[in-house]
Amino acid sequence: MIRERTLYICYHFASFDNIKMKHLHDIFVFLFIIFSVRYLSASNDLKLAGIFNGHEVSTFDRLGNLSLWANKQPTIVVMFTIWCNDSLNEFFNVTLMNLWNRRSIPMITWQMFVCGYKSQPGIIKLVNNHTYDDYINDYSDRMKVWLAGRDGIYGNDDDRRVYIRLAHEMNGYWYPWSQNSTPAEYVSAWRHVHQIFSSKGIDSTRLQWVWSVNYADFGNYTAEEYWVGDDYVDWLGVDGYNFGASRGGSWIWPNEIFDHMIIRLKNISSTKPIGINECGSTTIRTGNISDIQMKSEWLNRWCNYVANSTLKMASYFNIDYETDWAIFGGMHGDIIWNNYTAYSAYKTCLQSDQWLKPNSTNQRILTDEQFAGIL
């Protein structure tokens, strides 16, 4: 819009026959200001690109191939882990190291499942009763060591970064941390976990906490009732999907999924950055027939939706799980690249200027401000 107005003003001035050279200086100063404002505005509209690419070690190769295909790498890699001591060595020494060495910042979706992805009845009450304090302390100690970087000294230039998305989608009914407990108990448990990390001296330049809701309330309580407070959160997030007819529902576009909850999140906290932490679209628009063109259009609209919003991060769920979500390496796509099916709409989106491209010389990948959503 600013560019269009600039062209109009330039034409308007130039149309006067009696224009004199002394006016040209004023015109050029005016245009310089306009284009400078435009440039600064655009620089503040950057987003962090994220992706979930699966759990298996083999998915790292697929992530590398996605980056080669798209000629750009998502900065944030969403991952899922559970409350289980048995997996901590591999998680910190292999998984997180692998991601960081590929110059990706992990977003850990820290799910309150116990070993074997089993539900622990009353998990929120158990956290509040300090049953899991030993585990949380061990986890936070290991996290501080990992964040300290190669030299093992926390607080210097080689430190790493991580996002933690604790007990997400609590306003749904499908997770144990939403069951057999109240929002007040959830808030208390979140704050308790946060306090243990804070007591280790882990600060927000290394670790950012992400409070992430489902796009609509499907449980007994609203998202607002689960709000843990500004002092315990760095980012707000939302998850939402277009299941189409794959579950007997109807096709929904990105704005229909996210608009309402994003407004609510802004009302919850006006100062915190907001991101989409999970999203995806099926190809099943009607019946049981895959419509690749419709999914491509969904991806185009998702890209435009993010670009024209105040969102600071957007992550895509790139595996075929409940349905054919994947945009690279899944069952469907509109192109094939090196034996990977893919959606060219996603590549076009990722190549756009709306996504922040980290400075390759920054060993911490992002600046403190970028990490905190000040883009």
User: Quick one: which H or E segment has residue 48?
Assistant: strand 48-52
Q: What is the pTM of this model?
A: 0.88
d(CA 181, CA 127): 11
Structure tokens belonging to residue 17? 């026959």
d(CA 5, CA 284): 42
Residue 369's alpha-carbon distances to 12, 205, 295, in angstroms, are 41, 9, 34
d(CA 16, CA 92): 69
In DSSP terms, which residues pair with 106 in a beta bridge? Answer: 77
- Structure confidence by residue, pLDDT tens digits, 238-277: 999 999 999 999 999 999 999 999 999 999 999 999 999 9
d(CA 67, CA 41): 28
- Mean predicted confidence (pLDDT) in 56-63: 77
Q: What percent of the chain has pLDDT over 90?
A: 85
Q: Which CATH number fits domain 48-371: 3.40.50.300, 3.20.20.80, 3.30.530.20, 3.30.470.20?
A: 3.20.20.80
Q: At what angle do helices 292-307 and 254-268 cross, to 10 degrees?
A: 30
Please choose, from the candidates 28, 29, 33, 34, the residue with its C-alpha nearest in 3D space to the C-alpha of residue 2.
Answer: 34
Please choose, from the candidates 77, 208, 213, 190, the residue with its C-alpha nearest in 3D space to the C-alpha of residue 136.
Answer: 190
Q: Where are the beta strands (DSSP E) in 260-351?
A: 274-281, 313-317, 335-337, 340-342
- Structure confidence by residue, pLDDT tens digits, 196-214: 999 999 999 999 999 999 9
In DSSP terms, which residues pair with 211 in a beta bridge? Answer: 236
Please choose, from the candidates 204, 97, 86, the residue with its C-alpha nearest in 3D space to the C-alpha of residue 145.
Answer: 97
Model confidence at 307, in pLDDT bands (50, 70, 90)? Answer: very high
| C-alpha of 196 from chain center | 24
Give me the residue spans of the domains in the chain.
1-43, 48-371
Task: State whether the Cα torsion 336-352-59-168 is positive or negative.
Answer: negative
Structure tokens belonging to residue 254? 């990105």
Instruction: Name residue 91's amino acid.
Output: F
Q: What percent of the chain has pLDDT over 70?
A: 87
Question: Residue 262 — left, alpha, or beta (φ > 0 → left; ψ -120 to 50 → alpha)?
Answer: alpha
